[in-house]
Structure 1
Amino acid sequence: MTIHAISNVAIFNGRNLHPPGNLIFQASPGDILGVEAEARDLSGINAIVEGSGCTLLPGLIDSNIDTAAINRDLHIFASYGITTVLDMSSTETEIQAMRAEADAEPGLPSYLACGPLATAEIAHSNQFYPRRENKIVRSPAEAENFVTSGVNGPSKADYIRVLVDLPGIDSEILTAIVHAAHRHGKLAVAHAIQKIGYSRALEAGFDVITLIPIDGLIDADMANRLAARGTACIPTLCRARALAQLLLLEGVESASGIDLNFDYALANVKILYDAGVRICAGTEANQTSNAPVSIGESLHDELELLVRCGMSTIDALRAATVVPTLVFGLDDRGVLSSGRRADMLLIEGDPLQDITATRNIRKVWISGIEVEHWEGIGG
């Protein structure tokens, strides 16, 4: 068994920052063997990385990507310290290709996905996702079939995703999809860029909502109700910003008379955060949609945007580490402690003092395997 150590390093374990110590892990591939607060003799260790002046973080999690199976996307995510990705938009064919790549090559990020997005016959999804794979759901019976085919079909859905904005699926059918997802032991994820979408997701009982409204402010009472029932939110601010810019350029706001503004997105995250809603960091990283978002680097943008919204730096880091593991049931990662996967990110500086320090990447490990060929994004 090959044993490695990172010495004299400040450790953000997914929940809190601890003073400099040592982390011992098994390599190629492996788990964390121990986190030690005090100095010790490391002479029996196979390889030691000096971590003075650095902070060790759990590998980052991007909770909303749209890779479209572009060649080497997983390698790019890894190079930016992202060790787990949750695909919310790709097609069944793309998902099969990405799963095969992730399984075949050690040291790549873990890949989870959902398959087609459930929509109504008349929906905004074609405007926002002209290249994506949607599936029309017209009745409660079709809701059951949609979930069953998603879980057992080619995409092997890890969760179920539904467009809840208007015009869209009837409320009765939304509730039927949620109940079907839960019967299959899957989370129900709502896609909503409208205020009304958040209200509809709450009433239907969705577990997670992706994106954040850009058409006005969320009601504080609704935010409190979301927090009370444990609903999580993936604001996906990078995507909301790109989408708001696109709609402005296309004149959608002036044509519709609706006030569409990215400032609403920023304010809405603060409303949800203040209410105690669990926030996960996600980007909808993609290079194929009408509003592209950079692969990998955008998660560091997202952390900075979360802090800009008013989240503390420690909660922004939690949003990309421990919180999504709790929301999506990924119990083997997101925290640096004995027995967890050695998914880790070593950066120069202290991200609790300056969130942009997450860009100063020195090393990345995925399940104990060091990511070797990566394009640096910091100093």
Structure 2
Amino acid sequence: MGSTVIHSVLLFDGVSIYSDASVTFDLESGTITSVSTTPTPSTDYPSGAAVIDGKGCTLLPGLIESHMHVHNLHLPPGASEDDILRSPLRCGVTTVCDMHSDPESVTKQRKAVAEELAQAKKSNGTVTMSDLKSSLYGATIAGGWPKPVVLGHNPTEELKALVETWPNVTVETAPDFVKSHKAKGADYIKLMQENCCSLAMPTGAIPVATLELQTAVVNAGHAAGFPVVGHALSVDMTEVVLKAGADGLTHTFVDQPPPQSTIDLYKKNNAFVIPTLTILASLTNELQDWRDQFADLAKQKKLVDDFTVQNMREAMNVKDAAAKLEYAFDTVKRLRQEGIDVVAGTDAVAGLKGSGIGPSLWMELLLYIEKCDMSVTEALHSATALPAKRFGFSDRGIIAKGKRADLVLVKGNVTEKLATLWEGEGIVGVWKQGVKAG
């Protein structure tokens, strides 16, 4: 196995932009062996290296989708699960972060990813699946979130029985919950904080975790070396997660504009937010034209199957009457102004209305630019170096010597126009740990 050189390319390394750069990576180790931000003579290329002329293209780190779910609970019986990790890789997403799935599903998918990569290296073949990070199960409580959303569409006896096996975390069992997750290979801990006040359900319709419980889980998570993030869709629930000491929120809220108290808590914790504007738009039944646009795009480029194309067009439409997507836009703008990190994620799930794993991240990033005043490079940063930093994924997210060779080559200048990712030739090459995606 040899090296590959991409030369004369516009490089966005996850933070900064360089013109006429060269990047060399090694197939056997799966890592980047050199980065030059000035023209490199061909005599300096490794002997026998495969050489790619990157002129007219942009080279990016593999994108990171920081909020999705790898389970199949929203799919109808018999529906294919093949695209859960394949459709994101087609979109340049080399890492996905699952935010609540059963350990069996995660283990099954991780095994498939590892076996595929090993076989590709052995046979000089290609890969088709994104890398998978996971919280495993979130710190659920008896009868609490996300039970209503999972049981809402198809409450079969089998599904009810499965939900009953979810953790029932208490203050006393929080340390054991975290210890068990660490032993099973979790990458971070996920809290669930939901009272339904932003949803088309009566406020308090389900049991709600207490501040005491969430603090116990956060403390146990931090003691074990985990980042801890939390679900919340309203201001009051967001503040509970932040008062518990969490490192980030896996949604922003839609029930009201951002109050100063919430901003202050974000700043106190140095917490980050994963806005998930794509799924919030489905929740509030707004931005139908955006859903149609990206569904059309996904169909045209054959990124997902026909079921998912139709699924991307539909909306959950489960909001409380007062909830507005505009509040989410305003909150992201305000958090940015206050120096709070915004990390890209969509809450995409196979079968969840309004989402398609992979194309939804493109929509999410464009929403940051067009609705939240981000620059293109800031949006790209939110899906590369920033999530890697905030989740502690020290081996990826940036193009630098010694990092994983998770790379995306795009025809044109993505740093000036995000739509270059999908317009025209779009993505012309993806590598995961130095192995070409096929």
For 1:21 and 1:145, locate their aligned partners in 2 and report how far apart those are by CA, in whole Å.
Answer: 49
Cα gap change, 1:251/1:307 in structure 2, threshold over 3 Å: closer, same or farther? closer
Match of 1:163 in 2: 192
**Displacement, 1:251?**
7.4
For 1:221 and 1:352, locate their aligned partners in 2 and report how far apart those are by CA, in whole Å.
Answer: 35
Aligned-residue Cα RMSD (Å) equals 2.2
* Match status 1:89 vs 2:100: yes
For 2:342 and 2:133, locate their aligned partners in 1 and report how far apart those are by CA, in whole Å.
Answer: 19
Match of 1:115 in 2: 136
Matches within 5 A, 1:65-76: 65-68=68-71, 70-76=81-87
Give, as a single letter, the amino acid of the residue that structure 2 aligns with 1:123. G
Give, as a single letter, the amino acid of the residue that structure 1 aligns with 2:376. T
Could you list the structure 1 runs, at least 4 aligned residues long, displaced by more than 4 angstroms after superposition: 131-134, 248-253
Percentage identity across paired residues of the two chains: 28
Does 57-66 or 111-120 show the bigger shift?
Answer: 111-120
- SS of 1:140's equivalent? coil
Match of 1:8 in 2: 8
CA contact (8 A) 1:227 1:278 kept: no
* Match status 1:351 vs 2:414: yes
**Displacement, 1:23?**
1.2
CA contact (8 A) 2:246 2:269 kept: no
- SS of 2:110's equivalent? helix
Cα gap change, 1:12/1:250 in structure 2, threshold over 3 Å: closer, same or farther? closer
* Match status 1:128 vs 2:149: yes
Match of 1:305 in 2: 367
For 2:5 and 2:369, locate their aligned partners in 1 and report how far apart those are by CA, in whole Å.
Answer: 31
**Displacement, 1:142?**
2.4
- SS of 2:285's equivalent? helix
CA contact (8 A) 1:64 1:234 kept: yes
CA contact (8 A) 1:321 1:334 kept: yes
**Displacement, 1:148?**
2.5
Does 262-271 or 79-88 show the bigger shift?
Answer: 262-271
Cα gap change, 1:344/1:4 in structure 2, threshold over 3 Å: closer, same or farther? same
**Displacement, 1:355?**
1.5
CA contact (8 A) 2:21 2:35 kept: yes
**Displacement, 1:252?**
5.3
**Displacement, 1:34?**
1.2
TM normalised by structure 1 equals 0.89
CA contact (8 A) 2:140 2:167 kept: yes
Give, as a single letter, the amino acid of the residue that structure 2 aligns with 1:98. Q
Cα gap change, 1:216/1:138 in structure 2, threshold over 3 Å: closer, same or farther? same
1:49 equivalent among 37, 47, 52: 52
CA contact (8 A) 1:220 1:271 kept: no
For 1:342 and 1:138, locate their aligned partners in 2 and report how far apart those are by CA, in whole Å.
Answer: 39
Partner deviation per Cα, 1:70-104 (whole Å, 9 max, x = no partner) = 22422222111111111112222211111111211
CA contact (8 A) 2:238 2:249 kept: yes
**Displacement, 1:277?**
1.0
* Match status 1:223 vs 2:223: no
Partner deviation per Cα, 1:241-261 (whole Å, 9 max, x = no partner) = 112229x988755xx5x4111
Give, as a single letter, the amino acid of the residue that structure 1 aligns with 2:433. S
**Displacement, 1:45?**
4.8
Partner deviation per Cα, 1:184-232 (whole Å, 9 max, x = no partner) = 2112110011111211111100112101111111213422431342211
- SS of 1:15's equivalent? coil
CA contact (8 A) 1:224 1:276 kept: no
For 1:251 and 1:82, locate their aligned partners in 2 and report how far apart those are by CA, in whole Å.
Answer: 28
For 1:185 and 1:13, locate their aligned partners in 2 and report how far apart those are by CA, in whole Å.
Answer: 27
Match of 1:318 in 2: 381
* Match status 1:146 vs 2:180: no
Give, as a single letter, the amino acid of the residue that structure 2 aligns with 1:236. T
For 1:82 and 1:348, locate their aligned partners in 2 and report how far apart those are by CA, in whole Å.
Answer: 16
1:243 equivalent among 258, 268, 283: 283
For 2:54 and 2:415, locate their aligned partners in 1 and report how far apart those are by CA, in whole Å.
Answer: 17
2:213 equivalent among 148, 173, 183: 173
**Displacement, 1:144?**
2.4
- SS of 2:330's equivalent? helix
**Would you tell me which structure has more strand in proportion to its own residues?**
1
For 1:15 and 1:252, locate their aligned partners in 2 and report how far apart those are by CA, in whole Å.
Answer: 37
Does 29-38 or 324-333 show the bigger shift?
Answer: 29-38
Cα gap change, 1:15/1:137 in structure 2, threshold over 3 Å: closer, same or farther? same
For 1:146 and 1:49, locate their aligned partners in 2 and report how far apart those are by CA, in whole Å.
Answer: 48
TM normalised by structure 2 equals 0.78
- SS of 1:215's equivalent? coil
| Structure 1: gaps of 5 or more residues | 373-379
Match of 1:370 in 2: 436
**Displacement, 1:105?**
1.1
CA contact (8 A) 1:7 1:50 kept: yes
CA contact (8 A) 2:12 2:415 kept: no
CA contact (8 A) 1:137 1:169 kept: no
| Structure 2: gaps of 5 or more residues | 73-80, 118-126, 152-158, 196-203, 287-313
